[in-house]
Amino acid sequence: MLKFIAALAALLLTACSHTSGTPVSVSGCPDPAGLPDAELLLFGEMHGSVEAPKLISDLACSLSVSRELAVGLEIPSKDQALVDHYLGSRGSQADLEKLTSSYFWQKGIDGRSSAAMLDLIEHIRELKEKGRPITMFFFDDQPETELERNVAIANGIRRFQATRPDTKIIALMGNVHAMQKDMTTNDGTLVPSGRLLEDLHPVSILVTYPTGTIWACMPTCGVHEISPRNPPTGPIGFKQGASLGGYSHSYLLPSITASPPATQQ
């Protein structure tokens, strides 16, 4: 009996990975202290980092302890069958190759098809395999259509939410899409996805960072150094307010590091 208890304690401590020095909750997952209370959370990121997908991975670990959770990614929704298969698989090399066989993974180089994003998907698979009430959906409806991108993203999220109204959703997307107020551009007024979803009462969280690197195409594709327009202040983690309009909250990462395309690893 004592051996069983010891083994169970070890399993709980190792069930979810966490960054050294991060507060850990009873479940063995990083503590999401300060996370806004909402059924739909939109996280706006700069694509192509290690840390932003890791943040979502940590939150998925914590939130799925006590309730049904869905993680949404800005990946073509036509790839949904591939991720559904992978989440129900054992995560073998053959399963991984099937997941990444689509055009998105083979040709995508804008940061959304990063190695870190693939790690996030694998972590959701592991949580699901352990019995957590968790799933994942892809919400980019734009490929092979004439939909405006923000409309396409909002459509994908709305469609999933309609089928799972009692499931908490955390969705990771580009930081313009997650905004909840219109933007004025050279081409006119842009209505972000967050604004289009306002009837679902989302909370938008800007992922902020210190000086570091991302993998992006701006315009050349590769590792690029970035610095925040307004240097972040305060402790690592969640806080009210953000440096970009259309956000009510922000999350300060401890660092930001480039993650190249998964198929180049």
CATH of residue 212: 3.40.50
| Residue 10: inside a domain | no
How would you label 147-173 residue by residue, b for 16+ Cβ within 10 Å and e otherwise? bebbebbbbbbbebbeeeeebbbbbbb
Count the domains in the chain.
Answer: 1
- Tell me what pLDDT residue 92 has: 98
- Region of 40 please: left (phi>0), alpha (psi -120 to 50) or beta: beta
CA-nearest of 139, 150, 134, 94 to 112 is: 139
- For residue 9, is pLDDT > 90? no
Range of the domain at 232: 27-264
Residue that has been written with the tokens 């694998």 in this structure: 122
| Residue 16: inside a domain | no
CA distances from 116 to 12, 21, 38, 214 (A): 24, 20, 26, 11
| Residue 11: inside a domain | no
| Residue 3: inside a domain | no
Of 153 and 185, which is predicted with more confidence? 153
- Tell me what pLDDT residue 229 has: 82
Band of the pLDDT at 151, cuts 50, 70, 90? Answer: very high
Average pLDDT over residues 53-59: 98
- Tell me what pLDDT residue 230 has: 81
| Residue 12: inside a domain | no
Helix ranges (H only) for the chain are 2-14, 51-63, 80-87, 93-99, 103-107, 115-129, 149-163, 193-196
Q: What percent of the chain has pLDDT over 70?
A: 89
Average pLDDT over residues 17-25: 45
**Furthest CA-CA distance within the chain:** 69
Of 211 and 5, which is predicted with more confidence? 211
Average pLDDT over residues 179-206: 95
130 contact partners, CB below 8 Å, separation of at least 6: 15
CA-nearest of 61, 35, 24, 27 to 237 is: 35
Residue that has been written with the tokens 């396409």 in this structure: 152
Band of the pLDDT at 24, cuts 50, 70, 90? Answer: low
Q: Name the average pLDDT for the chain.
A: 90
| Residue 89: inside a domain | yes
Strand partners, 190: 183
Q: Are 54 and 23 in contact (CB under 8 A)?
A: no
CA-nearest of 206, 205, 211 to 255 is: 211
- For residue 23, is pLDDT > 60? no
| Residue 81: inside a domain | yes
Of 186 and 54, which is predicted with more confidence? 54
| Residue 76: inside a domain | yes
Average pLDDT over residues 59-64: 97
- For residue 253, is pLDDT > 80? yes
Question: Looking at 22-31, 46-55, 110-119, 213-222, which range is the least confident one?
Answer: 22-31
